[in-house]
C-alpha cells in the first residue's frame, strides 16, 4: 500500500472502442487459453446467500509457499522487488509462468504512460468461460518499496490472489460470470499500473466489469479484519464469510484511496477488498475484538523487516484467502438472482422529482427522457442509455453548450416508487457522474435508501478538481437490512461548488433476491 495519496493527474485520452485485448497498450506476451466453455446469455450476479458450489478452502501452505518464493526473489535481487528492478521482473515471471501453466490467457501489459521510468508490466490473466458481459476482477499490487522485500506489503496479497486463481483452474467450476486476475506494477509510486489499466479501458469494457476486489496487506502480524466499502454489495459478500466464522469486521478507513481499488472507483467500477492494517495503531477496542496489542497493525510497514516468515500472520492471511474465495465463488458460480423489481425507465413508473421539496438546484433537475449528448473537454452528458431510449438524467437537453442544462446551484433529487424488499435482496443500477476540472469534492452523485427508520446513504461518488468524462458504470448494494420493508430509492446529484459543470445519469434500476 502506498504511503500517501498523490494529487490527481489530468485526465488521459480514452481508448477507442474495440476488443479488450486490442485495447491493452504495450502487450508483450499473450498465451492462448483452452477452449472456452459455454456461458449463459444473461447470467448476472448471485446474492451472497445463494451458492451453487461451496467455496473451496484456499491452501495456507500454498499461500506461504508463494510468499517464500517472493522472499527468495528479493534476496537474489538486492533485497527488494521495486517496480523498476530485477526483483520485480523476476516476480512477474514467477506469477506469469504459474498462471500460464494452469491454463490462463495471460498478458504482460506494459505501462506506457504515467508509470515510473523503467517500471515493469502489469500481469493480467483471464480464465476461459463465463459471461463476458459480467466480469469480476481480483487484484493485488506485485511491487514492493525499495526498503525491503515487501512480504506483507504486498506479497501477501499477491500470493492470495495467485493461489485463488490456481485453485479456480484446478477445480474448473461452471461459471456464470467471467473471472480475471490482475497483478499491478508501480503501486508504491502512486497506483500507477492499475490507473493505467483502468484508464485504458474503453467505456464498453468498463461497463462489463461488475466488481473489482483488492487485496493489499492481508497478513499483518498485529492485524485487524478490514473490508473496503463494507456496506456495498461486494463488501457485504466478503463480510458474510467473516460473519460465518464469527470474526467481526470494520470499514478500511486507513487504506481508503491508498491502493489499487481507487483506480477502479475513479472510473465508476464498484470495488471492495480485504486488508489487515498498516502503520495505524490498533485501538483498545480493536485489541478487545481481535487480540494483539495497542501498537501498529504492521510494525514493519515499508521497512526492511517486512520479511517472510516473520512479518506475516498465518491466521490473518488464511482467513483473507478464504473470504476472497467465498466472494468469488458466490458471485461467479452462483445461481442467478430473481429480479423482484426493475425499471428500464422507458415508461413512467412513478419516480418523483424533488420529493421532499428541499432541492436547491436552479437548473439541471432530474428528468426521465431521451438525453442529448453534450461535450466540454470530453463527453459530459451521454446521448445513449444502457438500454432502450430513455433514462434518468440531469437536464436531458444539450442547449447551446454543455453548461446550458447541467446541474447548477445545489442539489437535485429523484425518488422511486415504493418497493417491497424480500430477504437477501440487493439494489443495482447503471450510473455515471461527469464534471469539469472546476468541480470539487463538494459536488456528488449519491444513492440512498428511504426506509421506515429514515434514510441511509448506500453510495457516494464525489467530484474532484479534475476532468471526469461521462461513462456508464454499474453499482450494486445490499438491501438485506431492509428485508420485509417497503422502501424507496433516492438518487441525488449536486453542484455545490462555484461555477461547476456537473452532469449525472441513471438507467436500469433493479432489485434482485
Q: Which residues pair with 462 in a beta bridge?
A: 444
- 3-class state of residue 333 by DSSP: helix
**For the whole prediction, is pTM greater than 0.75?**
no
CATH superfamily of 25-33+57-333: Zn peptidases (3.40.630.10)
pLDDT over 90 (residue 161): yes
The residue among 218, 234, 321, 320 whose CA lies nearest residue 269 is 234
Predicted confidence at residue 499, as pLDDT, reads 74
Catalytic residues: 187
- Which residue did the predictor score with more confidence, 217 or 20? 217
Percent of the chain with pLDDT over 90: 78
Q: How confident is the model at residue 44 (pLDDT cuts 50, 70, 90)?
A: very low
pLDDT over 80 (residue 28): no
Angle at 374 between CA 388 and CA 457, to 5 degrees: 70
Every domain of the chain and the residues it spans: 25-33+57-333, 339-512
Mean pLDDT of 241-253: 90
Locate 167 and state its grid cell. Answer: 485453485
The residue among 479, 502, 478, 482 whose CA lies nearest residue 492 is 502
Predicted confidence at residue 43, as pLDDT, reads 29
Predicted confidence at residue 25, as pLDDT, reads 35
Q: How confident is the model at residue 20 (pLDDT cuts 50, 70, 90)?
A: very low
Q: Which CATH number fits the domain 339-512, given the four candidates 1.10.3720.10, 2.160.10.10, 3.40.50.1950, 2.60.120.200? A: 2.60.120.200
pLDDT over 90 (residue 57): no
E-strand ranges in 153-233 read 177-184, 209-215, 226-228
Predicted confidence at residue 336, as pLDDT, reads 53
Q: How confident is the model at residue 337 (pLDDT cuts 50, 70, 90)?
A: low
CB atoms inside a 10 Å sphere around CB 82:
26
Predicted confidence at residue 31, as pLDDT, reads 34
The per-residue pLDDT for range 258-316, each reduced to its tens digit, is 999 999 999 999 999 999 999 999 999 999 999 999 999 999 999 999 999 999 999 99
Mean pLDDT of 203-229: 97
Do β-strands 209-215 and 271-275 pair in parallel, antiparallel, or remain unpaired? Answer: parallel
The per-residue pLDDT for range 85-129, each reduced to its tens digit, is 999 999 999 999 999 999 999 999 999 999 999 999 999 999 999
Mean pLDDT of 67-71: 98
Mean pLDDT of 4-9: 38
Q: How confident is the model at residue 430 (pLDDT cuts 50, 70, 90)?
A: confident
Percent of the chain with pLDDT over 70: 89
Amino acid at each position: 500500500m502506498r504511503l500517501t495519496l498523490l494529487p490527481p493527474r489530468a485526465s488521459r485520452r480514452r481508448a477507442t472502442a474495440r476488443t479488450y485485448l486490442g485495447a491493452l497498450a504495450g502487450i508483450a506476451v499473450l498465451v492462448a487459453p483452452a477452449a472456452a466453455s459455454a456461458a449463459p446469455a444473461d447470467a448476472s450476479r448471485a446474492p451472497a446467500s445463494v451458492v451453487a458450489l461451496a467455496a473451496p478452502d484456499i491452501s495456507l501452505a500454498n499461500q506461504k509457499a508463494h510468499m517464500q518464493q517472493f522472499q527468495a526473489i528479493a534476496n537474489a535481487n538486492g533485497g527488494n522487488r521495486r517496480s523498476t528492478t530485477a526483483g520485480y521482473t523476476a516476480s512477474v515471471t514467477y506469477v506469469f509462468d504459474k498462471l500460464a501453466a494452469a491454463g490462463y490467457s495471460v498478458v504482460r501489459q506494459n505501462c506506457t504512460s504515467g508509470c515510473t521510468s523503467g517500471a515493469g508490466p502489469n500481469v493480467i490473466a483471464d480464465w476461459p468461460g463465463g459471461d463476458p458481459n459480467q466480469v469480476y476482477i481480483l487484484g493485488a499490487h506485485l511491487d514492493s518499496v525499495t526498503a525491503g522485500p515487501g512480504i506483507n506489503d504486498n506479497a501477501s496479497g499477491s500470493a492470495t490472489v495467485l493461489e485463488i486463481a490456481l485453485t479456480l483452474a484446478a477445480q474448473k467450476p461452471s461459471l456464470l460470470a467471467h473471472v480475471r486476475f490482475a497483478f499491478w506494477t508501480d503501486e508504491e509510486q502512486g497506483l500507477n499500473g492499475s490507473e493505467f489499466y483502468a484508464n485504458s479501458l474503453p467505456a464498453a469494457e468498463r461497463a462489463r466489469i461488475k466488481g473489482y476486489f483488492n487485496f493489499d496487506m492481508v497478513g499483518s502480524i498485529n492485524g485487524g479484519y478490514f473490508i473496503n466499502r463494507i456496506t456495498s454489495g461486494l463488501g457485504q459478500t466478503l463480510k458474510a464469510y467473516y460473519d460465518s466464522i464469527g470474526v467481526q469486521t470494520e470499514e478500511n478507513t486507513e487504506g481508503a484511496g491508498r491502493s489499487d481499488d481507487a483506480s477502479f472507483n475513479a472510473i465508476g467500477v464498484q470495488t471492495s477488498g480485504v486488508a489487515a492494517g498498516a502503520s495505524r495503531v490498533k485501538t483498545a477496542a480493536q485489541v478487545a475484538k481481535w487480540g494483539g496489542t495497542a501498537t501498529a497493525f504492521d510494525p514493519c510497514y515499508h521497512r526492511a523487516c517486512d520479511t517472510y516468515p516473520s512479518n506475516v500472520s498465518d491466521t490473518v492471511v488464511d482467513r483473507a484467502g478464504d473470504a476472497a474465495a467465498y466472494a468469488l465463488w458466490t458471485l461467479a458460480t452462483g445461481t442467478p438472482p430473481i429480479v423482484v423489481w426493475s425499471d428500464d425507465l422507458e415508461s413512467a413508473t412513478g419516480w418523483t422529482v424533488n420529493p421532499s421539496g428541499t432541492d436547491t438546484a436552479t437548473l439541471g433537475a432530474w428528468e426521465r427522457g431521451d438525453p442529448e449528448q453534450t461535450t466540454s473537454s470530453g463527453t459530459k452528458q451521454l446521448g445513449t442509455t444502457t438500454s432502450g431510449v430513455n433514462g434518468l438524467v440531469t437536464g436531458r437537453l444539450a442547449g447551446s453548450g454543455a453548461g446550458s442544462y447541467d446541474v447548477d446551484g445545489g442539489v437535485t433529487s429523484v425518488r422511486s416508487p415504493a418497493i417491497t424488499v424480500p430477504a437477501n435482496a440487493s439494489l443495482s443500477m447503471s450510473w455515471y457522474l461527469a464534471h469539469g476540472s472546476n468541480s470539487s469534492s463538494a459536488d456528488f452523485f449519491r444513492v440512498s435508501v428511504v426506509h421506515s427508520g429514515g434514510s441511509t446513504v448506500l453510495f457516494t461518488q464525489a467530484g474532484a478538481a479534475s476532468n471526469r468524462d461521462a461513462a456508464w458504470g454499474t453499482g450494486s448494494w445490499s438491501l438485506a437490512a431492509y428485508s420485509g420493508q417497503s422502501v424507496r430509492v433516492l438518487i441525488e446529484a449536486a453542484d455545490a461548488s462555484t461555477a461547476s459543470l456537473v452532469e449525472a445519469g441513471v438507467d436500469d434500476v433493479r432489485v434482485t433476491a
